[in-house]
Amino acid sequence: MIALFAVAAAVVLLVPAAWPGRARRRLRGLQMSASPPVEDGRRFRLLVAAGIGAGIAALVWTWWGVGAGVVAAVVAERLLRRREPAHLKQERLAATADLPLGADLLAAALRAGAPLDRAAGAVAEALGGPLGERLQRTARSLRLGADPAEAWAHLSGVTGANRLIAAAVRSSASGGALAGALGRLADDLRSDRALAVEAAAQRAGVLIVLPLGLCFLPAFLLAGLVPVLISVLGDVL
């Protein structure tokens, strides 16, 4: 039965990857850039989903357990696919942490008289990391004459970067001073980050007290109320 389930799960999970449209999209992605972490994540996701399905089928151990295992494997694979990969999350967090400094450096470069594409390239070299790579692509797009919205879209996905993108696009359309807007944006991002850190600290305090309360309440009931109830009931009965 387990062997039958394994075959069914493999067909359900692996056959959709062989469809022509998905195969073409995957081939284009591999041609654009090699992505071993994505392939490793997909392999791990399939293994975990197959393990969950096999465990449910073995636990039920009836003829309909195979179908339940296949359904569980498909649902688990879909849910795991929606999760953000660990390496992408780390890159996003690192880019978010560098964004206020990047906005300050970009504003300083613009105040010094550098063109926008050269300023973005200089800041990208100074920062490095995930945000530096995104800014480098932005600078390259600006030098090639791309539309400002398209060029600055390389920063999308970074928390808070939507305001930087809006300011850059608005400045290119209206001719407003971008350096001042970037300076204010950097201050706002630092304030938002400080508030987020404070909220996380307060939430951590609540989470720390919660286990203590869960341990204290049963002890209070057993040591305080139960003896009183037993004494009262003994006198009444």
Work out the pLDDT band at 34, boundaries 50, 70, 90.
Answer: very low
Q: Is the pLDDT of residue 178 over 70?
A: yes
Q: Is the pTM of this model over 0.85?
A: no
Question: Per-residue pLDDT averaged across 10-25, rounded?
Answer: 43
Higher-confidence position of 126 and 172: 126
- DSSP-based three-state secondary structure for 34: coil
d(CA 182, CA 160): 12
Cα dist from 30 to 39, 102, 160, 182, whole Å: 10, 31, 30, 36
Determine the pLDDT at residue 35.
43
Question: Per-residue pLDDT averaged across 192-205, rounded?
Answer: 82
Work out the pLDDT band at 137, boundaries 50, 70, 90.
Answer: very high
Which two structure tokens, joined as six digits, stand for 18? 């062989």
Q: Is the pLDDT of residue 187 over 70?
A: yes
Q: In whole angstroms, what separates CA 72 from the centre of its chain?
A: 24
Which two structure tokens, joined as six digits, stand for 231? 């004494």
Provide the residue type at 188 as one letter: D
Which two structure tokens, joined as six digits, stand for 169? 């696009």
* Helix (H), strand (E) counts: the chain: 11, 0
Q: Is the pLDDT of residue 13 over 70?
A: no
Which two structure tokens, joined as six digits, stand for 49? 């989903």
Determine the pLDDT at residue 116.
87
Determine the pLDDT at residue 176.
65
Determine the pLDDT at residue 16.
43
d(CA 52, CA 5): 11
